Structure 1
């Protein structure tokens, strides 16, 4: 799974940071989270491609959605026929529809606008799902959790072949699928050669939010938490007044949730050229890896048992 940060600035873009958007390539499924102004250009610049079928919107502030009309228009110019689903917080469907139709036209391909609430399973696939989680901002908002299913346990080929005498073949596949097989007059159970199930990967994206218990709970054990870190601690009151988080507050969330890596994003323009301040403050509170996300940065999310 690869996460590409397309936009990591706060409300205002800079020469180095675009407005909010991240792109996730999950084993060939292309997923876009938020779509600030200029996102389509970032997609071209960083080579993600446009094969997106699902867009997950955290809230409707302009720095998270103003790129949607342009992206959908580009899809149209490229003769797209496949449908696109836009997932947006409950109560905002009409606003998204108006945004799409602001220039007086509608896309020639199907666009489905799906309202979601915290706790909803927004997208369900055979090996993973995406859920909406509660966040706290100045408008209707949600965050999203991409959670993979547990994987099969490791198959002990050496034991199967050398101890149990089962030659390589279809019986291996059956055992790995959890089916018992008959061999040399006895029933071999899967647990004899297959280890315990192994956890999948989890990525959490908060969008804009105050630090909240709901995010802590949703992020428990996550491999990557992408959290609002608009301000440093000296602007804590400003963060509270605008319903954002400081880097230290994001780190506290990560520490309590026991995540592996914390990406700080939605960086205020006041930290242009000195975003390292935010990373330093986060590392004072968080024992894991903490870094400031930069436009174009890619993170390969490894399985928890790969290290």
Structure 2
């Protein structure tokens, strides 16, 4: 699993940063792409990365401010020309459907795939599939805003192939059943127990992504024991009053949230345009004094999200 920061600026684009968008490349076998927010120019940023538009199958919007949404119509349109033929699921606060469908209708934009829009009206689980459970938690901002908690389901443990060969288990469908925890019977009548040939299930990863927010109780729920917390850090240490006036957080508040929630890693994003790339070491150092596993993202920064023990 890999996370990409397509835009890391707040409010408006600058010469050094585009506005907000994050992409999560899911693990094989599906290898799909989930995106979180799509500010103006997001599809241009994708073209500068190794991400494929045709792989995009879910879009999660934190709130309706333009720096998080103005890139949606172009993104949806381009997907039609990039091999994205399957359904695309779009999640966001109440109003996202009107915003998106009105833009598509008035611009005469045709998309040749099914667009499934879910408007979030309360905290809790908003999506489940074979690999993930996704929760949305309301945050403290000037518009209704949600953070997303992605919980990967546990992965079956590795098979002991040497032991399988000793027991005479033929490679193929029986391996799959054993990996899923099913006991199997061989043609000679011997029963092979999954517990004897498969390792313990491996714990799924947890990724928490905030939208714009001032410190609030739901950040702890969102981030509890996460492998990765992505948290906005619009302002620097000492600018708390200004940050809260606009519904934002500082570097030290993001770091404190990570420490309190017991996360493994913090990546900060959504920096005010007053901060240049040369200011990033200072902002990162502010956070690392509180939470050493802190990083400050820049446009096209990407990182692997390691499983605590690989499948």
Q: CA deviation at 1:260?
A: 1.3
Q: CA deviation at 1:304?
A: 1.3
- 1:197 paired with 2:198, answer no
For residues 6-65 of structure 1, what are the alpha-carbon distances to aligned partners after superposition, in whole Å with 9 as ceiling and x for unaligned?
A: 000011211111000011110211111101011110011113121222211100001000
- Which residue in the other structure is 2:40 paired with? 37
- Which residue in the other structure is 2:13 paired with? 13
Matches within 5 A, 1:277-296: 277-287=282-292, 289-296=293-300
Taking a change above 3 Å as real, the CA distance of residues 249 and 40 of structure 1, as seen in their structure-2 partners, is same
**Structure 2 length normalisation: TM-score?**
0.87
Q: Distance in 1 between matches of 2:184 and 2:90?
A: 46
Higher mean displacement: 13-22 or 111-120: 111-120
Contact 1:35 1:65 survives alignment (8 Å): yes
For residues 240-265 of structure 1, what are the alpha-carbon distances to aligned partners after superposition, in whole Å with 9 as ceiling and x for unaligned?
A: 11111111111111111111111100
Contact 1:19 1:37 survives alignment (8 Å): yes
- 1:167 paired with 2:171, answer no
Contact 2:53 2:82 survives alignment (8 Å): no
Q: Distance in 2 between matches of 1:12 and 1:211?
A: 22
Taking a change above 3 Å as real, the CA distance of residues 173 and 21 of structure 1, as seen in their structure-2 partners, is closer
For residues 165-224 of structure 1, what are the alpha-carbon distances to aligned partners after superposition, in whole Å with 9 as ceiling and x for unaligned?
A: 523426654433222346898765433333322111221111111222222222222121
Unpaired stretches in structure 1, ≥5 consecutive residues: none
Taking a change above 3 Å as real, the CA distance of residues 185 and 263 of structure 1, as seen in their structure-2 partners, is same
| Count of residue pairs the alignment pairs up | 302
- Which residue in the other structure is 1:84 paired with? 88
CA RMSD of aligned residues (A): 2.6
**Structure 1 length normalisation: TM-score?**
0.88
